[in-house]
Chain A
Amino acid sequence: MSSFNRRQFGRLAGASAATLALPAVLRAQARPKVVVVGGGAGGTTVARYLAKDAGEAIDVTLIEDSDRFTTCFFSNLYLGGFRSFESITHGYDTLESNYGITKITGYATGVDRGKKHVVLRDGSTVPYDRLVLSPGIGFIWDSVPGYSEDAVDVAPHAYEAGPQTQLLKQKLDAITDGQQVVIVPPPNPYRCPPAPYERASMMAHLFKAKGVDAKVIIIDPKEKFSKQGLFLEGWEKYFPGMIEWYGPGVHGGIKGVDVAAGNVETDLDTFHGDLLNIIPAQKAGEIAAAAGLTDGTGFCPIEAASMRSAIDPAIYVIGDAAIAGDMPKSGFAANSQAKVAAMTIRGELTGSRVFPARYSNSCWSLIETDDGVKVGAQYVPTDGRITSTTSFISQTHEDPAVRKATFEESLGWYAGITADMFG
């Protein structure tokens, strides 16, 4: 007989206890199947934690269209020249080889919730006992009139990292003296609230470092934005006259874009960009609506204590696609939600212990070399809603040593979260 450790024993004992409480359909199966759709911060984490903690007791499948995944977080640092594209791109090999996760490379288009299977674009189906959707965002293309999916090669959104990010980088590198870039950030709610403003900082850094006399104009549909005081202070300090931000109080409203001409038209004026970076309004990734799991907001209502869909108890929705109360849409948040979902699912399927949900988020942004800032918060479910209990934000006028330490901490976090995701 092979040796037995305490954890394995607990797992088996728990499994037999749980069997009594499970529906017949699950009892009949040797191993319950969990299917995860989406290989980003949420999907990789939930798959890895299920496989790591449940061992052989759960069969875990990860469906993701790409072979390699480029993280949205730190993609602005690639634009600024602080990171290589390769250093923010990761493979799924370890999840397959070390954790026994089955990776299906394909695009999941829908879910037959009655038959409990996921439908792929090629028509094949993947059955599940529990499904986790972590599909990220989808775009509402016409939220900026004149912009469309066909325009992304000319005016990249670069808000899903990958070829779009590389395209934006190419176009930024081609900017010359006297030219300007116009960024149109999305309205709330959207992925990674400080990202458009960190991106403006990275663009200005790039121009300044190369000695290119170019400007960044931000035409914002919002009156205020994340870490606003910190960014405005940093722009004044490092990039005087290089970054201009206009909220609706000034521009009066965005009427549309002419991508071919490079114009953003507002009530106040027409702003010309030699490069346009249009980031449309957002909704849950396509499969969420196709599966009927979204509400009128375009995102997915969930149970705050577990990340279980409020619409289908066999499905969990995590990350940007979920309506997660006070939590922002971020890679850190998705990673945190994934751990609650993994624990709950494992409890349901194997009888392992389930603890009260805790959620957390931290978010670092880089303004200029060695000048990092951060925000963070803790959350618990309260009256059915994920509610912030404590939070912090970097202060203006901080000591440069503190900012440098914050930036270095962000490098450590990147190494940590990607190890937590990809193994």
Chain B
Amino acid sequence: MLKTGPEEHDHRRHAVRRGSVVVFLMFATLFHAAQTFAGDGDPVAGERLFGLCKGCHEIGEGARNKVGPHLDGIIGRKAGGVEGFTYSRAMRQAGQAGLVWDAANLSTYLHKPRDFIAGNRMSFRGLAGETERADLVAYLAATGGAAPADDLERRDAVIVTGFAKIVLDMEGDRDYGEYLAGECVTCHQASGHADGIPSIVGVPRAYFVKALFEYKSNIRTNEVMKLRVANLANEDIAALAAYFSSLEPE
């Protein structure tokens, strides 16, 4: 067996966790690609840092839009460029003005997201350390380097099953949803701005419904949310989803 340094050892554990040597080899290839994008960043360290992001973002095989857009193909993607995701006006305008994500501007953005694009609704205060940002960007470049996720609606429909599917098939009463939303907007701002509590303005219906069922079934554990959701009937959830998915962030 070849002698391995500690860093390679880390990669191997990573590969084992994914359960396949093939994945390991693919990862090694991507890692090389990442280095050309993201300078000295360590994607393995970056994966740990991605824990800060994954409440809202998915990346890699099967990634979907959640509270935030999926991050497949983020490097080289136009800002505000994922079809079917409702961005803040500020993010859309940044993209229209020609902002395309690369390792350098992504790192600047992640330093202080609200300074880089004022009025964007990503609920993240920023990552102060330059090394950490390089690691995170390296991970994003490596893992999100795959082709962008395909047909998001179809994929959502497959993943959302059971009760959530029943609710998705109902036509939500938007006006009723607007009244019920009074309970949500005390914390989740109606403008779409986020100060520590995620924005739910413009969230896709499928994601919204699935998330509420995840609170109902204890997959998500926030007590305030579990409490609010416990008393929501299917028609209430359908109404809320109809209302919030119809909104545009300011």
Task: Give A contacts to B, CB under 8 Å.
Answer: 10, 49, 332, 335-336, 339, 343, 353, 355, 358, 360, 362, 374, 376-378, 380, 389-392, 394, 408-409, 411-413, 415-417, 419-420
Contact = CB atoms under 8 A, between A and B. Distances in A.
A77 B191 CA distance: 26
B226 interface: yes
Contact of A391 (B183, B187, B196, B227): B227
12 contacts: A332-B186, A336-B182, A339-B182, A353-B175, A353-B176, A360-B227, A392-B226, A416-B195, A416-B197, A417-B186, A417-B187, A420-B186
A177 B220 CA distance: 47
A409 B55 CA distance: 14
B190 A392 contact: no
List of 5 A-B pairs having minimum Cβ-Cβ separation, nearest first: A412-B197, A412-B196, A415-B195, A339-B182, A416-B187
Contacts of B197: 409, 412-413, 415-416
B227 A376 contact: yes
Contacts of A377: 227
B228 interface: yes
B170 interface: no
The main secondary structure of chain B at its interface with chain A is: loop
Nearest to A359: B183
Contacts of B175: 10, 353
A336 B181 CA distance: 11
Contacts, number: 87
Contacts of A10: 175
B14 to A, nearest CB: 24
Interface string B169-206: 00000011001101101111111011111000000000
B20 interface: no
Interface of B: 123, 175-176, 179-180, 182-183, 185-191, 193-197, 222-224, 226-228, 230-231
A405 to B, nearest CB: 9
Given A411-B195, A415-B195, A390 B230 contact: yes
B224 A378 contact: no
Nearest to B196: A412
Contact of B185 (A389, A391, A412, A416): A416
B227 A409 contact: no
Contacts of B182: 49, 336, 339
Nearest to A405: B222
A374 B224 contact: yes
Nearest to B182: A339
Residue picked from B183, B223, B230, most chain A C-beta under 10 Å: B223
A376 B176 CA distance: 23
A353 B176 CA distance: 8
Contacts of A417: 186-187
A416 B199 CA distance: 10
Given A415-B196, A416-B195, A378 B223 contact: no
Nearest to A395: B223
Given A360-B227, A392-B226, 5 more contacts: A10-B175, A339-B182, A411-B196, A415-B196, A417-B187
A10 B191 CA distance: 23
Contact of A413 (B123, B186, B231): B186
Contacts of A343: 179
B186 A376 contact: no
A389 B196 CA distance: 28
Nearest to A379: B231
A421 B199 CA distance: 18
